[in-house]
Structure 1
Amino acid sequence: MKKNRIGKTDMIATHLSFGGIKLHSNMPDKAENIVSKALDLGINYVDTARCYGDSEVLIGRVMKTRRSECYLSSKSIRRSKDETAEDVNISLKSLNTDMIDLYFCHDISREYHYEKIMSDSGSLPALKEAQKAGKIRYIGLSTHRADIALRAIESGEFDALMLSINLFDQEFVKDVIPVARKANIGIVGMKPLAGGAFNYPQIALRYSLSQDIDAQLVGISSISEIEEDFNIADNFKPLSEEEMNKLLEEAKELGKDFCRQCGYCLPCTVEIEIPKVFLYERYGKRYWLDDYAKEQYANLKVKADECEECGKCEERCPYELPIIEKLKSAHKYLTS
């Protein structure tokens, strides 16, 4: 498989890289076996985050014996210096390593997030201290907003950016990547399948791999998935005009106002499973599984009409979706 240098770092990563967001303890395929399979195939970059449940711990079990076979990155969603420093130490322990190659300030999707991490009491000083202490080698920033990505590039403080690379988030491809390339800042892609929204995931992945990025992360939940995605990247073919048109049609149908299933809106104050509500709505409206969608929704412990409109979910959503209004709409459809 093609390998690329991540910006000005010395990390030469496989074009397709392993995203640990889907790993959890109760998977049909044991999580450790999935990670091991990725390494067996030759994938040499594994990403996770403190906020991905027990993903770090599961990956760490494999790193006990195979740390030398891959680059590791993790991420902290904390904004303060002390909390970020604590997260770095927890990541090191969980991942069974004394050094993490690339550590990201994660989901910096509001202006005040950026201002906080860049302040003297923010995350960046903590990561610089961790870098000086040899705990991490490079510093990155992940964001869902092009304007914040451009500010990060201009600051000169970051070695890599993690950006959504799919047909819905064209501002990164058009406006950010060319600027990052001039500054020799690495580009790590995330969300190639836009949270599972595409009906043609193989084509969507090939679209992302076609862009000017160094590594494309894919969230993996089974051995068959990693094998299939590896084969797509290892035998990469550019999209045909017909395939591109399929993606464009889907993108037009979905618009941009849809849930990417990232789960950052959680936890809900009244325990509404927000991503599931929108997933069942999608099943009914897009896949004509009306009865199934309504049956699954009926089985949810807390329904969307119990929303107290506290707004915490909207503050957390990296795509700034009007979640409160969308929950009302979804509930109306799923109970009609």
Structure 2
Amino acid sequence: MRYRVLPRGGEKIGEIGLGLGAVTPNSDMFKILSYALEKDINFFDLCGAYDFIYPHIKTTLAKNRSKVFTQMHLGAIYKNGAYAFSRNLNTVKDTFLRILDTTGLEYTDFGFLHCIDEEKDLNYVLEKGIFNLAEDLKRQGIIRHLGFSTHTPVIAEKLINLGMFDLFMFSINAAFDFKKGDYAIGDYAQRENLYRLAQSKEVAISAMKPFAGGQLLNAKLSPIGIALTPLQCISYVLERPAVITLVAGATKVSDIDDYMRYFTASPNELDYSVLGTAISQDAKGRCLYCNHCSPCPKKINVGLVNKYYDLSILGDPLAKEHYLNLEHHAGECNNCGHCDKRCPFKVEQIKKMHEISEYFGV
């Protein structure tokens, strides 16, 4: 396992976490959670499809409370044992506290405003008591960090700009980022700008739906027309700005083994540049920091140079200092064209290097 540090708080969170939404009544919940702990997974999203999971959390995660981080959702409820959600304040509060008691966790590291996808959802939770409930639970220490979940970039931006949240859950994968229409809310530019805004504001992302519900793993089902491997999907998500962990679902322990291969995989196995043959035209010409252009003959880290430039434009006051601390800068580009030829996303990197050099003045 590799870990990333939460910008606001300093907690070390594993790059691969576990979500419980895919678990079915036939899944061996105790075995899955125990095996995840054995593999050093320390981040768990507790919004499950069924409420039978919660007693198992008491016998696994709660016994390792100081070693794990949990995110719970204010709005996820259960009817007849199956997932539903509600905006009724009393129902939201009672369900949250009941689950906390059933799991024996005593507190949750992240308390989320659940599924804020539309303007009316945003206004309701902010004005009708649910956000106040979250703040009150935080004052009591029952919630350690405030967060939210959404599928809508515009809503995420508004919540980030309130300055009250440390983490949010957002659906990230190559299909959602590059395919317009029914597959995702927001076009490529909106979504990419959201990731960069979050990073500039030091608000981390726990990424959900890394495989687009499995569609990206099957060429016949894939919205982008090609199949990716699980490792390519994981690599893509973990290289998006602001992502601190990827929350993958597991119905059996072998799923966890598949995900953990990410940490021993070769660069070729993680290389997702095949996306360059499938992405829509409007997404081309934007650096995704994949560094498929490496190695630069002048030893410029082209991906990092682009990342710090993008963050600085968005107003991140630290980005320039990070750029200046790089060993090699954009101004060292000698126009050899190596990067332009190799970029799968058709970025004119020579032009970008001159633009970035002039911007930073180095």
* TM-score category (smaller protein): 0.5 to 0.7
Q: Does 1:89 align with 2:97?
A: yes
Distance 2:161 2:268 in 1: 32
- Are 2:200 and 1:182 equivalent residues in the alignment? yes
Q: Aligned equivalents of 1:11 and 1:80: distance in 2?
A: 32
* Inter-CA distance 103–233: structure 2 relative to 1 (3 Å threshold): farther
Instruction: State the TM-score, normalized to the length of structure 2.
Output: 0.63
Residue among 210, 221, 224 paired with 2:239? 210
Q: How much has 1:47 moved relative to structure 2?
A: 1.1
| Corresponding residue of 2:30 | 32
Q: How does 1:244-283 map to 2 (within 5 A)?
A: 244-245=273-274, 249=278
Q: Give the stretch that moved more between structures: 230-239 or 211-220.
A: 230-239
SS at match of 1:17: strand
Is 1:73–1:102's contact at 8 Å kept on the other side of the alignment? yes
Residue 101 of structure 1 corresponds to 109
Q: 1:236 to 1:180 in 2, by over 3 A?
A: farther
- Aligned-partner SS, 2:261: helix
Residue identity (%) = 21
Query: Shift in Å at residue 9 of structure 1?
Result: 2.4
CA distance in structure 1 between the aligned counterparts of 2:173 and 2:104, rounded to whole angstroms: 33
1:244 offset after TM fit, Å? Answer: 3.0
Work out which structure has the larger RCO, using CA pairs closer than 8 Å and 6 or more positions apart in sequence.
Answer: 1
AA aligned to 1:218 is A
- Where in structure 2 are there 5+ consecutive unaligned residues? 76-85, 178-187, 219-227, 281-362
Q: What is the RMSD computed on CA atoms of the aligned residues?
A: 2.3
Q: 162, 183, 191: which is aligned to 2:169?
A: 162
Q: Quote how far apart the aligned CAs of 1:184 are.
A: 1.1
* 8 Å CA contact 1:75, 1:106 repeated in 2: yes
**Displacement after TM superposition at 1:25 (Å):** 3.4
Any idea what SS the aligned residue of 2:61 has? helix
Higher radius of gyration, 1 or 2:
2
Question: Secondary structure of the equivalent of 1:189?
Answer: strand
Q: For 1:177, give the aligned amino acid.
A: Y
Distance 1:214 1:138, change over 3 A: same
Bigger drift between 81-90 and 174-183 goes to 81-90
Q: Residues of 1 paired with 2:23 and 2:42: CA distance?
A: 17
Q: 1:227 aligns with which of 242, 245, 257?
A: 257
1:7-26, aligned counterparts within 5 Å? 7-26=7-26
**Cα deviation per residue 1:177-216 (whole Å; 9 max; x = unaligned)?**
1111121111111100011111234122221122221111
Equivalent residue runs for 1:59-98 within 5 Å: 59-77=57-75, 78-98=86-106
Distance in 1, Cα, partners of 2:88 & 2:96? 12
Mapping 1:285-296, distance limit 5 Å? none
CA distance 1:25–1:94, shift in 2 (3 Å): farther
With the length of structure 1 as denominator, give the TM-score of the two structures: 0.67
Name the counterpart of 1:135. Answer: 142
Contact (CA 8 Å) 1:153, 1:183: kept in 2 or not? Answer: yes
Shift of 1:232: 1.3
Distance change >3 Å, CA 116–CA 234, structure 1 → 2: farther
Question: 1:219 Cα shift?
Answer: 0.7
Task: Check the 8 A contact 2:22/2:48 in 1, yes or no.
Answer: no
- Give, in angstroms, the shift of residue 142 of structure 1: 0.5
2:124 matched to which residue of 1?
A: 116
Aligned length: 247
After superposition, the C-alpha distances for 1:290-323 in whole angstroms (9 at most, x for unaligned) are xxxxxxxxxxxxxxxxxxxxxxxxxxxxxxxxxx
